[in-house]
Structure 1
Amino acid sequence: MGSPEKNQSKGGFFAAMTSGLSIFGNAMHRSVNGFLGYEGVEVINPEGGKEDAEEEAHKGRFRQEERDSYWKMMQKYIGSDVTSMVTLPVLIFEPMTMLQKMAELMEYAHLLDLADTCEDPYMRMVYASSWAVSVYFAYQRTWKPFNPILGETYEMVNHDGITFLSEQVSHHPPMSAGHAENEHFTYDVTSKLRTKFLGNSLDVYPVGRTRVTLKRDGVVLDLVPPPTKVNNLIFGRTWVDSPGEMIMTNMTTGDKVVLYFQPCGWFGANRYEVDGYVYNAEEEPQILMTGKWSESISYQPCDREGEPLTGTELKEVWHVAEAPPNDKFQFTHFAHKLNSFDTAPKKLLPSDSRLRPDRWALEKGDLSKAGAAKSSLEERQRAEKRAREAKGDHFTPKWFDQTDDITSTPWGDLEIYSYNGKYTEHRNAIQSSMAAEVDDVESTEFNPWQYAELSD
């Protein structure tokens, strides 16, 4: 299904406007890059004017000499999938792993609680799709999360009654699986990101399957998110955009939501804007939705032409929470919560992301120690791979099982992993055995390893 008709015309207008500016725009970025000595590297400040372009070319997270050396190193990867590269410098990372980033979808999980208790089937889709949009404010961070070590995990408790678990189930290709649950819903995801490095930008394709089951009626929701583009990785101020369609389908009834994430145009035109409709199984619009993924989402009942119903008004369903001012890594309050041991259960798994020495050192601001720890972990992972191959072993995840199910996504086929329930048994056993026992989780050594006899 395509974008709603009114959004197609809106997109067409802005596409025409962008096309009208293309001659000027191409000339401008050629001028800037010619000045720098790098042709074909686009430099744009989406929130600034044309007079800022050359100034933006000198900004970013690197000093001039770092940009030059990093550019020389990265040129050979242009056009490649760099998802599992291990040579990236630690200064571009944030103190969080991809497994933790998966958990950021739980910040506004109360919207799924509302979807579960809602009697109106179309409002149910409004709540659930607004939950899916809500994470994009956090996803606009421009720092890279650490790639998880094979067998690494992340656990979260103490947030709205939710238990969350994720595990790195494959290293080549990099794949993660996650499961979350409370009294209203279960959430299951298998994620296999695919990337394409384009020199000064990175395209990220979410080759994954996300399913939410609402417990009251057993409704199953399937989510297909839009791709993401990270702009100005090396030259200019880095920024993130996610142009394209997000589709959430009620697998039980056939109802669906189609939301169009507008691409950012020149000088910030259309940036953050989201528009779309809730459709019934006959593909007739029932509710229009509009807003900005950086701020809020609102809804309004509509007729079959997609026009607002007379006598109704636009109502806000989700609003982004206040974020810490001037945070070094652009973390939200919830992101800091994910790194905290306050959200960790007692007897935390030693494979948990919080315990990674490189992540921990980066959080404390020690880049040298973080870089050394990152290299050590990666070398140990390579040693385990060699040992596994020599023994003829295969890695088997602890908490998720690979199924025979292969699902098709817009960006490639995906092998599906399912939660096997063993973690629930593990937690129940711990809870029944430790009563008032004091737990010093911060002193636990990070250990996702398959072979205990190997050294770092």
Structure 2
Amino acid sequence: MESNDQKQSGGLFSSIASSFSNFSIAMNKSVNGLLGYEGLEVINPEGGSAEEEAQRGQWKQEDRDSYWKMMHKYIGSDITSMVTLPVFIFEPMTMIQKVAEIMEYCHLLDLADECEDPYMRLVYASSWAISVYCAYQRTWKPFNPILGETYEMVNHDGITFISEQVSHHPPMSAGHAENEHFIYDVTSKLKTKFLGNSVDVYPVGRTRVTLKKDGVVLDLVPPPTKVNNLIFGRMWVDSPGEMVMTNMTTGERTVLYFQPCGWLGAGRYEVDGYVYNAAEEPKILMTGKWNKSMSYQPCDLEGEPLSGTELKEVWSAAGTSESDKFQYTHFAHKINSFDTAPKKLLATDSRLRPDRFALENGDLSKAGAEKSSLEERQRAERRNREEKAQQFTPRWFSVSGEVTPTPWGDLEVYEYNGKYDEHRAAIDGSDCIEEADVKSIEFNPWQFGNVSAE
């Protein structure tokens, strides 16, 4: 495990800068000169030939050329909602479905709730927070939700889950999940910085977990993420920096450091850190890889493992099939499935989006057309709303009035208003409709009427 000084001096390309700077400059010039993109960085974290990697990127050469001509003017900008992207870089899932994906390993929160040891409670909860990063290996982009779009999930570990797109400019979503052990609430807002062949993503959000047994509240601050090789080369994701989970009730916290990916993949995926008591003394060390597993071991006040103890695994990632184009786990497939949908699914649900459904069926032409149609109808509804001086109001979440600071800017917090529980109770008490009828529901997130493209 690294010292604090080492951690503070680390950066995504620190090993390149310190040990391979001259070679890195030469390699960049060679590769970028070859493709006509002087000044863009190309690295291959898996090793091998960088030029070969750049040439066999996900996009065709003509696609890269036209995309670069469009995108270079945005360098240094936040492109969260500025740019329309081609459908062939998407996966058949929306951003608010990705919010639900953090529930894949929610059994760890059940264990945290049942745990009497305050430090082990944070081991379980922190491992749950790390588990979602497995999904970040998927470099396909999820669809941006339409304003008012929702996602519902049931039939998974007793959870009721609802998320909603609560704002379009800036893009913001809110989510709420609950079972007998925990309550999960999130307000999510992404801030980006486009850097040419990469984009930095800053999670300007707030995540809170309430464990029901003792009523403790856990607050999560995740690290930023960097998406590399947007224009050419094999796209890959890194999340260098600190993740902090704090028990706001008693003061203990976990600080985990996500190692930056070094030259030829050195340190990629590695996470290590400690669970501290309220006096900032280390009690348990944690180590592992965010794409595979996490382990823990009791430690002394110097952070060294206690004699007579051993490293124990607390979480391991589910496997994916090599033949699966999008590298989905079984749970990720369930997110798109109607198996996890409740009775009488809301017409605003992401599963019903025609562009997402067409992409899932492999029809890129239809997916692109449907995506363009939805985006134009959203713009038309916005014009109509503004002309009539009407205000969009989320159904299941309300503005709390609280503005919370984050490392990347202040956040207006949305809170769950409880209305979905009332809606679900009324629906569950009625007769069930057939699954075929559920699939035939027309996607309709329009709060001010189904506005056709003008």
Is the CA contact (8 Å cut-off) linking 2:444 and 2:450 kept in structure 1? no
Residues 7, 332 of structure 1: CA spacing in aligned structure 2 closer, same or farther, 3 A cutoff?
A: farther
Question: Which range moves more in the overlay, 160-169 or 74-83?
Answer: 74-83
Is the CA contact (8 Å cut-off) linking 2:134 and 2:317 kept in structure 1? yes
Report how far residue 85 of structure 1 moved: 3.0
Q: In 2, Cα distance between the equivalents of 1:16 and 1:195?
A: 24
Is the CA contact (8 Å cut-off) linking 1:18 and 1:266 kept in structure 2? no
**Structure 2 residue 171 is the aligned partner of structure 1 residue 174:** yes
Partner in structure 1 of residue 53 of structure 2:
56
Partner in structure 2 of residue 308 of structure 1:
305
| 1:277-296 Cα deviation digits (max 9, x unpaired) | 00001000000000000110
Q: In 2, Cα distance between the equivalents of 1:405 and 1:444?
A: 36
Residues 33, 158 of structure 1: CA spacing in aligned structure 2 closer, same or farther, 3 A cutoff?
A: same
How many residues are aligned here?
A: 450
Partner in structure 2 of residue 37 of structure 1:
36
Report how far residue 31 of structure 1 moved: 1.4
Residues 437, 232 of structure 1: CA spacing in aligned structure 2 closer, same or farther, 3 A cutoff?
A: closer
2:338 partner letter: F
Partner in structure 2 of residue 67 of structure 1:
64
**Structure 2 residue 194 is the aligned partner of structure 1 residue 197:** yes
Question: Which range moves more in the overlay, 74-83 or 15-24?
Answer: 15-24
**Structure 2 residue 430 is the aligned partner of structure 1 residue 433:** yes
Partner in structure 1 of residue 88 of structure 2:
91
**Structure 2 residue 391 is the aligned partner of structure 1 residue 387:** no
Q: In 1, Cα distance between the equivalents of 2:322 and 2:8?
A: 33
Is the CA contact (8 Å cut-off) linking 2:10 and 2:260 kept in structure 1? no
Partner in structure 1 of residue 23 of structure 2:
24
* Residues 79-228 of structure 1 mapped to structure 2, 5 A cutoff: 79-228=76-225
| 1:11-53 Cα deviation digits (max 9, x unpaired) | 769946751112211211111111222111111110013xx11
Residues 177, 418 of structure 1: CA spacing in aligned structure 2 closer, same or farther, 3 A cutoff?
A: same
Question: Which range moves more in the overlay, 294-303 or 332-341?
Answer: 332-341
**Structure 2 residue 251 is the aligned partner of structure 1 residue 230:** no
| 1:336-395 Cα deviation digits (max 9, x unpaired) | 110001110010000000000000111111111011101110111011111111111110
Residues 242, 337 of structure 1: CA spacing in aligned structure 2 closer, same or farther, 3 A cutoff?
A: same
Report how far residue 9 of structure 1 moved: 3.9
Is the CA contact (8 Å cut-off) linking 1:7 and 1:276 kept in structure 2? no
Is the CA contact (8 Å cut-off) linking 1:7 and 1:275 kept in structure 2? no
Is the CA contact (8 Å cut-off) linking 1:324 and 1:333 kept in structure 2? no
Alignment TM-score, normalising by the size of structure 1: 0.96
Question: Which range moves more in the overlay, 57-66 or 4-13?
Answer: 4-13
| 1:218-254 Cα deviation digits (max 9, x unpaired) | 0000000000000001111100000000000000001
**Structure 2 residue 276 is the aligned partner of structure 1 residue 255:** no
Residues 8, 17 of structure 1: CA spacing in aligned structure 2 closer, same or farther, 3 A cutoff?
A: farther
Q: In 2, Cα distance between the equivalents of 1:197 and 1:228?
A: 12
SS in 2 for 1:414: strand
Q: In 2, Cα distance between the equivalents of 1:7 and 1:47?
A: 27
| 1:117-153 Cα deviation digits (max 9, x unpaired) | 0010000000000000011011121111100000000
Report how far residue 165 of structure 1 moved: 0.6
Report how far residue 453 of structure 1 moved: 5.5
Q: In 2, Cα distance between the equivalents of 1:85 and 1:93?
A: 17
Is the CA contact (8 Å cut-off) linking 1:92 and 1:143 kept in structure 2? yes
Is the CA contact (8 Å cut-off) linking 1:221 and 1:250 kept in structure 2? yes
2:61 partner letter: Q
**Structure 2 residue 378 is the aligned partner of structure 1 residue 378:** no
Partner in structure 1 of residue 333 of structure 2:
336
Aligned with residue 409 of structure 1, among 393, 406, 410: 406
How large is the RMSD of aligned CA atoms in angstroms?
Answer: 1.5
- Gap runs ≥5 in structure 2: none
Residues 143, 13 of structure 1: CA spacing in aligned structure 2 closer, same or farther, 3 A cutoff?
A: closer
Partner in structure 1 of residue 294 of structure 2:
297
Aligned with residue 344 of structure 2, among 323, 342, 347: 347
Is the CA contact (8 Å cut-off) linking 2:189 and 2:205 kept in structure 1? yes
Alignment TM-score, normalising by the size of structure 2: 0.97
Residues 17, 80 of structure 1: CA spacing in aligned structure 2 closer, same or farther, 3 A cutoff?
A: closer
Report how far residue 452 of structure 1 moved: 2.1
Question: Which range moves more in the overlay, 19-28 or 382-391?
Answer: 19-28
Is the CA contact (8 Å cut-off) linking 1:247 and 1:259 kept in structure 2? yes
| 1:169-224 Cα deviation digits (max 9, x unpaired) | 00000000000000000000000100011111010000000000000000000000
1:333 partner letter: H
Percent of aligned pairs with the same residue?
A: 77
Report how far residue 412 of structure 1 moved: 0.4
Is the CA contact (8 Å cut-off) linking 1:18 and 1:265 kept in structure 2? no
Residues 16, 152 of structure 1: CA spacing in aligned structure 2 closer, same or farther, 3 A cutoff?
A: closer
Report how far residue 8 of structure 1 moved: 4.1
Q: In 1, Cα distance between the equivalents of 2:192 and 2:186?
A: 19
Report how far residue 327 of structure 1 moved: 1.6
* Residues 280-295 of structure 1 mapped to structure 2, 5 A cutoff: 280-295=277-292
- Gap runs ≥5 in structure 1: none
Is the CA contact (8 Å cut-off) linking 2:258 and 2:270 kept in structure 1? yes
